[in-house]
């Protein structure tokens, strides 16, 4: 029989959570058994990233070992442990974008920002990441900056695009 | 509101594709002009975005493609005067009394529309996805209402009789899947909608969730009723924000209408739908990994049996269907199994939406009967390769699939044929590569993907993807050896047999398919240290 992992999310009532972001995340998302991923999503939404101190408190609040939380937080691409830069640049490297020149966009970004995917600029303005597919394949190549999806980006149009994010 | 534009409505496609092309600015510009804006999803004609349909009382609708805010004022004024403005793409229906309409094609005559059989996508780009009333007005929830008047067994029978097979990849008969779950003695049972679309190059689930979320929800509700579940989940990728918002909104609206909750529409049946967010991992499309993710754990698959139908979420019987499968379920219950089976091939009934992208002229999401030759999709609907180039290969089934060579395009798109041709249907992503693409680079690309997405639980997948990628990387750097080709095939077959889940079993498919179909090209890389297309660095 599969392990039911039935940690409830109701334990939070007994643990005095100090972090306001975590408190809000728990209120919003700790609604059912197995809610860990939902809480992490909400926490990241609130705080921008998953801070170690928040995860330590979360471990207490949900009665889940910190190692297990760390395991989940590092398994999925969507979770970020380090501080978010002001603007997150995400270059799609899905199949369609690959066939339409995602590499040339990455080359421009490497050159302009001086960072590799997974890094942030020293001034904290931009972070660069590669991701797999936003599902806007028809407009490939696609670059997402913060919450804006930009389609049919070219190495020529990219620098101007960046200037819009100060 | 200015009196000039009264009686005119601009229907603007505001799904992710349209938004990426600037549709929001277009919608805002129409509002500024005093034109009423009707927010809809997308028609799937992505290459035309931003796409606007102008409606005027007494006139047939006119579609304007690639609209930018600077053209809006002109379109509004011309339409008010009964004129067709510049940039009109097509007219929906008869030409009517628009002035200047005679040179504008009718949408129904264009291959991009004529060759489609739009069923599951029929509401996409047509109704407001945020309005349950608009869905009801086009006959929405009639399938669910009908299901509640017959027994769960009869619902399963109807779906079985339709011949519907899973649209997520494997093509397992949906009715049979439901029966297996229903016949599991354990309770409670869970129904799950798999909306964790992660196959790069496939976006039909996004189109459907953003453009017609109620249809998917209705299908999920029918599946839950059929298997005897009172608790359903939609597992959707947090990355696809709009889709996640739309389905959550739809569930709220359905609850308000009394379609969800307790004693639904006067019957003893009760059902709750929850949205579970996925933080993004390709392997979570696999059923047991998906279940682990909903339970709040790392999304790693486990050995089967027991199958989810016997022991799934929280160890209870669980039925998981793909978004598009559930969309079809709603239409089958509404229109009957015979209607569904009217189109399609002998073993693959009904229609399927395919997402055409890559180096093709007219990208988009198109719905066609299964069994339609691939050439019709790629060349007639998609307009062939972009910029007058030649098609080299067409990849179906994503990173677990394989490719069809240009000369294989007459093969019908159905589950069995694609498998025999060394590919898979997958979720329906079709990526076109033209003559400028290199077979080694394509294979390396896919293995780079599966290598980073492998969950690491079983050795064949974890190590196999790594080694395959390494060998392919050597090929691309001019360090490939001829005997590596045989090694890759051996390793690929081993992975297919020994991996724990479908992802690992399918991960070597691109290599097996590309090395057999483009053997000469691989050999050139190894023997002559030359990449004929100049894509690989070769150093």
Contact A37 B206 (CB under 8 A): no
Sign for the pseudo-dihedral over CA of B400, B206, B209, B409:
negative
The verdict on residue B127 lying in a domain is no
The alpha-carbon gap from A162 to the nearest alpha carbon of chain B, in Å, equals 16
What string of pLDDT tens digits covers the 539 residues of chain B? 444 577 899 999 999 989 988 999 999 999 999 999 999 999 999 899 999 999 999 999 999 999 999 999 999 999 999 999 999 999 998 888 899 888 999 999 999 999 999 999 999 999 999 999 999 999 999 999 999 999 999 999 999 999 999 998 889 999 999 999 999 999 999 999 999 988 888 999 999 999 999 999 999 999 999 999 999 999 998 878 899 999 999 999 999 999 999 999 999 999 999 999 988 889 999 999 999 999 999 999 999 999 999 999 999 999 999 999 999 999 999 999 999 999 999 999 999 999 999 999 999 999 999 999 999 999 999 999 988 999 999 999 999 999 999 999 999 999 999 999 999 999 999 999 999 999 999 999 999 999 999 999 999 999 999 999 999 999 999 999 999 999 999 999 999 999 999 999 999 999 999 999 999 999 999 999 999 999 999 99
Whole-angstrom distance, CA of residue A78 vs CA of residue B237: 9
- Which B positions 184-223 lie with beta carbon below 8 A of chain A? 197-203, 205-206
Q: Which of B21, B297, B446 sits opposite A72 (nearest CB)?
A: B297
* Number of A–B residue contacts, CB under 8 Å: 162
Of B20, B279, B429, the CB nearest to A78: B279
Which residues, in sequence order, are CB contacts of B304 under 8 Å at separation 6+?
B288
Closest CA to A148 of A134, A160, A137: A134
> Which residues of A are less than 8 Å from B291 in CB distance?
2
The structure tokens 């996409």 sit at B124
pLDDT value for B91: 95
- How far apart CA A156 and CA B2 sit, in angstroms, is 40
Find the CB nearest A37 among B279, B359, B455: B279
Same domain, yes or no: B71 and B191: no
- The answer to whether residues B8 and B63 belong to one domain is yes
Q: Do residues B163 and B282 both lie within one domain?
A: yes
Q: Which pLDDT score, from 0 to 100, does residue A87 have?
A: 95
For residue A67, what are the contacts with CB-CB under 8 A and spacing of at least 6? none
Residue B278 lies in a domain: yes
Q: Would you state the structure tokens that stand for residue B226, as one six-digit string? A: 């059929």
* C-beta separation of B443 from B474 below 8 A: no
Q: Please check whether residues B164 and B293 belong to one and the same domain.
A: yes
CATH code of the domain in which B491 resides: 1.20.1440.230
pLDDT in tens, B170-229: 899 999 999 999 999 999 999 999 999 888 889 999 999 999 999 999 999 999 999 999
For residues B434 and B405, give the distance between their C-alpha atoms in angstroms, rounded to a whole number. Answer: 11
Q: What pLDDT sits at residue A62? A: 87
* Spatial distance between the Cα atoms of B62 and B91, rounded to a whole number of angstroms: 5
Let me know if residue B34 belongs to a domain: yes
Strands across the sheet containing A143-145: A126-131, A87-92, A143-145, A148-150
- B335 Ramachandran zone, left/alpha/beta (phi>0; psi -120 to 50): alpha
Put simply, the answer to whether B455 touches A75 (Cβ < 8 Å) is: yes
CA–CA separation, B437 and A23 (whole Å): 51
Helices B213-227 and B174-182 pack at an angle, to 10 degrees, of 40
What would the DSSP string read from start to end of B476-505? HTT---HHHHHHHHHHHHHHHHH-SSHHHH
Average pLDDT, chain A: 87
Give the other-Cβ count within 10 Å of B435's Cβ. Answer: 14
Dihedral angle computed from the Cα positions of residues B449, B450, B456 and B459, in that order, rounded to the nearest 10 degrees: -140
Listed residues B434, B466, B487: the one ending a domain: B434
Which of A36, A38, A135 faces B240 most closely, judged by CB atoms?
A135
Nearest residue to A85 (alpha-carbon basis) of A117, A122, A120, A45? A120
- Asked whether residue B346 is domain-assigned, the answer is no
How many angstroms separate the CA atoms of B347 and B336, rounded?
18
Q: How far apart are CA B270 and CA B264, in angstroms?
A: 6
Domain that includes residue B444, residue range = 439-528
Distance between CA atoms of B248 and B501, rounded to whole angstroms? 30
Nearest residue in chain B measured CA to CA from A144: B20
- What is the predicted pLDDT for the residue at B260? 98
Domain end position, chosen among B434, B467, B500: B434
Q: What's the rounded Cα separation, in Å, for the pair B197 and B195?
A: 5
pLDDT of residue A30: 85
Is residue A3 predicted with pLDDT exceeding 80? Answer: no
* CATH number of B40's domain: 3.40.30
Count of beta carbons in the 10 Å neighbourhood of residue A33: 17
B439 touching chain A per CB within 8 A? no
Q: How far is B296 from chain A (nearest CA, A)?
A: 4
Contacts with B314 from chain A: Cβ below 8 Å: 2, 4, 6, 33-34
User: What is the predicted pLDDT for the residue at A4?
Assistant: 33
Tell me: the pLDDT tens digits for B5-28?
778 999 999 999 899 889 999 999
Q: Do B295 and A5 touch (CB under 8 A)?
A: yes
Contact B358 A140 (CB under 8 A): yes
pLDDT value of residue B350: 97
Task: Give yes or no: residues B400 and B486 share one domain.
Answer: no
Q: What would the DSSP string read from start to end of B303-340?
A: --SSPTTTS-GGGS-EEEEEHHHHHHHHHHHHH-HHHH
pLDDT at B225: 98
Q: Is residue B539 part of a domain?
A: no
Give Cβ neighbours of residue A102 (< 8 Å, ≥ 6 apart).
A91, A92, A93, A130, A140, A141
Tell me if B187 is assigned to some domain.
Answer: yes
CATH of the domain at B398: 3.10.20.600
User: B177 in a domain, yes or no?
Assistant: yes
Residue appearing with tokens 């209705």: B218
Residues B369 and B227 in one domain: no
- Residues in A closer than 8 angstroms to B278, CB to CB, are 37, 76, 78
Which burial class, exposed, middle or buried, applies to B387 when counting CB atoms under 10 A from its CB (0-12, 13-18, 19+)? exposed
| Residue from the list B197, B200, B279 with its beta carbon closest to the beta carbon of A76 | B279
Cα separation of B198 and B378, whole Å?
A: 22
- Residues B356 and B478 reside in one and the same domain: no
Q: Which residue has the higher pLDDT, B333 or A3?
A: B333
SS3 at position B152 = helix
Same domain, yes or no: B335 and B478: no
How far apart CA B527 and CA A95 sit, in angstroms, is 28
**H-helix or E-strand containing B449?**
helix B439-453
Phi, psi (deg, nearest 5) at residue B391:
-75, 135
Residue corresponding to tokens 């993907």: B449
Whether B152 and B231 share a structural domain: yes
From B434, B459, B474, the end of a domain falls on: B434
Read off the CATH number of the domain in which B308 is found. Answer: 3.40.50.11540
> In sequence order, what are the residues at sequence separation of 6 or more whose Cβ sits closer than 8 angstroms to the Cβ of residue B470?
none
- For chain B, the domain total comes to 4
Tens of pLDDT along B57-97? Answer: 999 999 999 999 999 999 999 999 999 999 999 999 888 88
pLDDT of residue A1: 27
Sign of CA dihedral B494, B495, B501, B506: negative
Please, where are the H alpha helices in B98-186?
A: 111-114, 132-137, 142-149, 152-162, 174-182
Query: Given pLDDT bands bounded at 50, 70 and 90, which one contains residue A6?
Result: very low
Distance from CA of B378 to the nearest CA of A (A): 14
Select the residue from B42, B185, B197, B201 to test the A interface by mutation, using most A Cβ atoms within 10 A. B201
Residue A13: the pLDDT is: 55
- Region for A114 from its dihedrals, namely left if φ exceeds 0, alpha if ψ lies in -120 to 50, beta otherwise: left
Between strands A148-150 and A143-145, the pairing is antiparallel
Same domain, B323 and B386: no
B218/B163 Cα distance (integer angstroms): 19
pLDDT band of residue A123 (cuts 50, 70, 90) is very high
Residues B445 and B369 in one domain: no
The reply to whether the predicted model has a pTM over 0.90 is yes
**Does B395 lie in the same domain as B520?**
no
Residue B158 belongs to some domain of the structure: yes
Q: How far is it, in rounded angstroms, from Cα B237 to Cα B243? A: 8
ipTM of the modeled complex = 0.88
Domains of chain A, CATH where assigned: 11-75 (no CATH), 87-163 (3.40.30.10)
- Which residues in chain A are contacts of B356 at CB distance < 8 A? 138
């Amino acid at each position: 029989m599969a392990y039911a992992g039935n940690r409830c999310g109701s334990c939070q009532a007994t643990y005095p959570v100090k972090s306001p972001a975590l408190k809000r995340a728990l209120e919003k998302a700790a609604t059912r058994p197995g809610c860990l991923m939902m809480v992490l999503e909400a926490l990241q939404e609130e705080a921008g990233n998953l801070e170690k101190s928040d995860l330590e408190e979360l471990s207490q609040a949900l009665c889940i070992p910190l190692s297990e939380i760390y395991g989940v937080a590092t398994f999925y691409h969507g979770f970020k442990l380090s501080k978010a830069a002001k603007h997150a640049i995400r270059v799609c490297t899905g199949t369609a974008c690959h066939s339409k020149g995602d590499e040339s966009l990455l080359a421009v970004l490497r050159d302009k920002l001086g960072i590799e995917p997974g890094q942030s600029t020293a001034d904290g303005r931009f972070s660069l990441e590669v991701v797999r597919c936003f599902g806007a394949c028809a407009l490939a190549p696609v670059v997402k900056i913060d919450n804006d999806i930009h389609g049919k980006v070219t190495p020529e149009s990219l620098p101007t695009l960046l200037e819009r994010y100060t | 509101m200015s009196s000039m534009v009264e009686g005119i409505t601009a229907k603007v496609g505001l799904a992710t594709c349209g938004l990426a092309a600037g549709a929001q600015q277009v919608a805002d510009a129409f509002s500024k002009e005093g034109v009423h804006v009707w927010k809809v999803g997308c028609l799937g004609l992505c290459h035309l975005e931003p796409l606007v349909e102008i409606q005027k009382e007494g006139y047939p609708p006119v579609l304007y493609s690639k609209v930018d805010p600077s053209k809006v004022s002109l379109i509004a004024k011309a339409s008010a005067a009964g004129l067709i403005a510049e940039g009109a793409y097509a007219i929906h229906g008869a030409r009517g009394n628009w002035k200047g309409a005679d040179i504008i094609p009718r949408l129904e005559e264009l291959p991009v529309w004529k060759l489609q059989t739009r069923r599951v996508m029929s509401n996409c780009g047509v109704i407001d996805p945020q309005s349950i009333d608009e869905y009801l007005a086009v006959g929405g929830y009639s399938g669910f209402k009908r299901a509640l008047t017959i027994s769960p067994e009869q619902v399963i029978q109807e779906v079985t009789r339709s011949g519907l097979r899973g649209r997520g990849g494997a093509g397992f008969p949906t009715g049979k899947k439901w029966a297996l779950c229903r016949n599991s003695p354990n309770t409670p049972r869970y129904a799950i909608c798999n909306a964790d679309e992660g196959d790069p190059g496939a976006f039909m689930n996004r189109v459907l969730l953003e453009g017609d979320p109620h249809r998917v929800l209705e299908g999920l509700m029918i599946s839950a009723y059929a298997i005897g579940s009172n608790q359903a989940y939609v597992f959707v990728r947090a990355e696809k924000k709009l889709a996640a918002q739309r389905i959550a909104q739809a569930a709220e609206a359905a609850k308000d209408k009394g379609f969800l909750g307790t004693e639904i529409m006067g019957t003893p049946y009760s059902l709750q739908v929850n949205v579970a967010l996925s933080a993004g991992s390709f392997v979570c499309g696999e059923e047991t990994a998906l279940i682990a993710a909903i339970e709040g754990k790392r999304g790693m698959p486990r050995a089967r049996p027991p199958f989810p139908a016997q022991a799934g979420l929280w160890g209870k019987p669980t039925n998981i269907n793909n978004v598009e499968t559930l969309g079809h379920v709603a239409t089958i219950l509404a229109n009957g199994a015979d209607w569904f089976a009217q189109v399609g091939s002998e073993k693959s009934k009904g229609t399927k939406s395919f997402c055409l992208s890559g180096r093709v002229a007219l990208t988009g999401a198109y719905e066609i009967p299964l069994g339609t030759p691939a050439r019709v999709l790629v060349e007639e609907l998609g307009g062939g390769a972009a910029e007058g180039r030649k098609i080299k290969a067409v990849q179906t089934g994503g990173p677990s699939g394989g490719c069809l060579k240009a000369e294989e395009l007459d093969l019908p798109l159905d589950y069995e044929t694609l498998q025999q041709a060394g590919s898979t249907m997958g979720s329906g992503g079709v990526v076109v590569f033209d003559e400028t693409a290199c077979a080694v680079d394509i294979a390396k690309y896919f293995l780079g993907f599966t290598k980073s997405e492998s969950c690491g639980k079983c050795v064949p997948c974890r190590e196999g993807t790594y080694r395959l990628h390494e060998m392919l990387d050597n090929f691309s750097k001019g360090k490939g050896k001829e005997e590596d080709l045989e090694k890759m095939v051996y390793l690929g077959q081993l992975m297919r047999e020994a991996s724990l889940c479908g992802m690992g079993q399918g991960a070597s498919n691109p290599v097996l398919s590309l090395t057999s179909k483009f053997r000469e090209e691989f050999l050139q890389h190894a023997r002559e240290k030359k990449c004929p297309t100049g894509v690989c660095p070769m150093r």
